[in-house]
Chain A
């Protein structure tokens, strides 16, 4: 006999489903509470079209020690526009990929790490400023994030809590046409986020010169990494000045060339002074130098020239001296 499901039973079933769902949430939630989480924050969640504001991305490692973070922040380009990204105050200090804005896609991508690891409840990663272009709801999302434990194994953390930032962009009020009898109310001032000025150059750093059989056919290269505590390092410039030669002719100098590490040196044999300039996003720079030793081929050539020169001189001197003696004897 078919059973007729009454309205009351349907109600009870719904109620039970709700209870089981609630039970499932209660059971599952505590496990997610321990997951590492990335947080997006801004001072407010409601802005007017035309406002600009700052948002920050930070991490709560939930007691774990991590050392590498990579991922993408994604904004809806329909009503938000990325203006600037700053990463000088980041817990990440070595960048495989410095935070980079792709304005047309509305993304900031980055990959960086911290030697020795980081553990904390609110580690800043980067901040960015945004222009609210038009009214509507907007959600800034995080995608493709990888967080790796500082465990010596490169273990990637699963179940990362990826926060998002939901914003309401309201239409900016237009100045009403005031009746002749009433004075017009001044329009509400536009909220504008002004980037703090960065007048401090990056911190001191030491370029390191080396070579390795597997890197560019064993050519000398220079490694460098600078840190800027305000806007963050934007790029590097490297120039090469050959010893002695550069005193007489600058045309043998190489660079400055905008580059990233490792920079393969253009002058491989002659001893050179390498100057590396680290520029921050505000254009301040810190200069640092290192000396490339002469190559083995250069030393061998120099020794050979000296040897040949001294043989020649000895021969010339002895010939001349011998001639004089012979004249005296005669």
Chain B
């Protein structure tokens, strides 16, 4: 009996421990929450009321009616990014693939399921949980009918924690093999005759990328590391580009440059496209750009973080120090956002901040780059690392820390070539090839270069 109890204890404790280990401790000037336990729950809604989570001291979420607002939990917002979803039509089927959702503050993407509808916007019929995968082929579909799909992200308990935007595709029968033309009519051997067969024009193979950036932002799209198109987002911040491909597995990456010449981090999507097919990657939300007015703030003074994001969106701002602080702000109609932090709630020392966009229809971007700042004894103005990287620097003895080895404002094949020239060398003649300055040019330097790649 005792043995069974030990086994049972082991199983239960072993299953629970990972979730307990995910909790963070929080504090503000007037309260402290130590060793919190997250307890997600399901949704419930009625005509004038919606509830996300359990209303209890240990729950997370917000319930709203017209005249009443309740924020429960730790005053923190666990969230998970929305996957960008691609749909490729086949014969009686649609292949879906999406990028992994990133959870934060206790939420972890543990599985996905697919919602399907023949009407845009739903209601959707959901599949059973597909497990922690990033692709699925939906079969048994009717050729010629347009299907609309969304992907729902689930936590370990099966609760939905994020949703992709909608992607659509219309399955179509595979083209019949091109028939050998035979003369029709015309009799008598020869000449010219009928030609009843119109030559079959092979369909173009292409990938369409749809998403949201910042109003009039310059975008750079690269395919397998090479820049293929540099479109501009429209005045509402939306973009759509089409790229011709030959067929195979491709990695598409996109980043945006805002009105202040600040660059977003790169978002990437790997997709398989067969010859003759069109794949649509939709729901790309470019993370916000991020700047600060100071790189060091005098303890007790304000520090302002700002940047551009999709207009009229909610911006999650996260400060990481010995504990994590999250808060929200809004982007205006031009996409500009800012957030002022009173440094008094932080201790002296180094901290980082990052942000993400929550669009008006609740599609959540991945995080922006992480920006370091310091709380110290005096204010020091900030010089943006990315802006510096994008600006061709004069011949200076200092190296860019982003892989722009030749300092031409781009991180591309030339820098890769220079890196290969010094590959595995200790204390290379060009110290900038050793990006992380660890005295050897190796995979770590290569990885940093790929992160900052501009194509």
Residue numbers of A with Cβ under 8 A of B are: 15-16, 19, 22-23, 26-27, 29-31, 61-65, 67-68, 70, 88-91, 93-94, 96, 111, 113-124, 146, 148-156, 200, 203, 205-206, 208, 210, 212, 214-216, 221, 223-225, 227, 229-230, 260-262
Contact = CB atoms under 8 A, between A and B. Distances in A.
Contacts of A260: 420
25 contacts: A19-B3, A22-B10, A23-B7, A23-B14, A26-B15, A29-B14, A63-B102, A67-B451, A89-B249, A115-B225, A115-B450, A117-B451, A121-B135, A124-B249, A146-B443, A148-B443, A148-B447, A150-B447, A208-B413, A210-B414, A215-B430, A223-B416, A227-B224, A261-B416, A261-B420
Contacts of B315: none
Interface string B235-275: 00000000000111101010000000000001110101000
Interface in B347-394: 369
A113 B248 CA distance: 17
A310 B433 CA distance: 47
Interface of B: 3, 6-7, 9-11, 13-15, 17-18, 97, 99-103, 108-109, 132-135, 222, 224-226, 246-249, 251, 253, 266-268, 270, 272, 369, 402, 405-406, 412-414, 416-418, 420-423, 428-430, 433, 435-436, 443-448, 450-453, 455
A27 to B, nearest CB: 5
**Residue of B97, B402, B421 with most partner-chain A CB within 10 A:** B421
Contacts of A67: 447, 450-451
A173 B6 CA distance: 52
A64 B102 CA distance: 8
B422 to A, nearest CB: 8
B412 A208 contact: yes
A208 B413 CA distance: 8
B69 to A, nearest CB: 33
Given A117-B450, A120-B135, A214 B418 contact: yes
A223 B225 contact: no
A160 B261 CA distance: 38
Contacts of B268: 65, 114-119, 150
A116 to B, nearest CB: 3
Nearest to B273: A229
A143 to B, nearest CB: 16
Given A156-B444, A223-B417, A262-B420, A118 B251 contact: yes
A13 to B, nearest CB: 12
B100 A68 contact: no
Contacts of B450: 67-68, 94, 113-117, 150
B417 A262 contact: yes
Contacts of B18: 30-31
Contacts of A154: 435-436, 443-448
Given A27-B17, A148-B443, A150-B450, A262 B418 contact: yes
B270 A123 contact: yes
The 3 A-B pairs at the shortest CB distance, nearest first, are namely: A229-B248, A154-B444, A116-B253
Given A120-B270, A216-B421, A262-B421, 8 more contacts: A22-B10, A63-B100, A68-B447, A116-B268, A117-B268, A153-B448, A154-B447, A203-B224
A152 B414 contact: no
B135 A63 contact: no
Contacts of B135: 120-122
A90 B101 CA distance: 22
Contacts of A117: 266, 268, 450-451
Contacts of B224: 93, 115, 203, 227
**Residue of B103, B226, B435 with most partner-chain A CB within 10 A:** B226
Contact of A68 (B369, B433, B443): B443
A212 B428 CA distance: 14
Contact of A149 (B7, B15, B447): B447
A315 to B, nearest CB: 43
A40 to B, nearest CB: 18
Contacts of A155: 447
Nearest to B433: A214
A214 B270 CA distance: 35
A316 B222 CA distance: 59
A210 B14 contact: no
A119 B251 CA distance: 11
A212 B249 contact: no
Contacts of A111: 443, 446
B133 A121 contact: yes
A278 to B, nearest CB: 13
Contacts of A63: 100-103, 108-109, 132
A113 B222 contact: no
A68 B14 CA distance: 33
Contacts of A23: 6-7, 9-10, 13-14
Contact of A19 (B7, B17, B421): B7
**Residue of A152, A200, A203 with most partner-chain B CB within 10 A:** A152
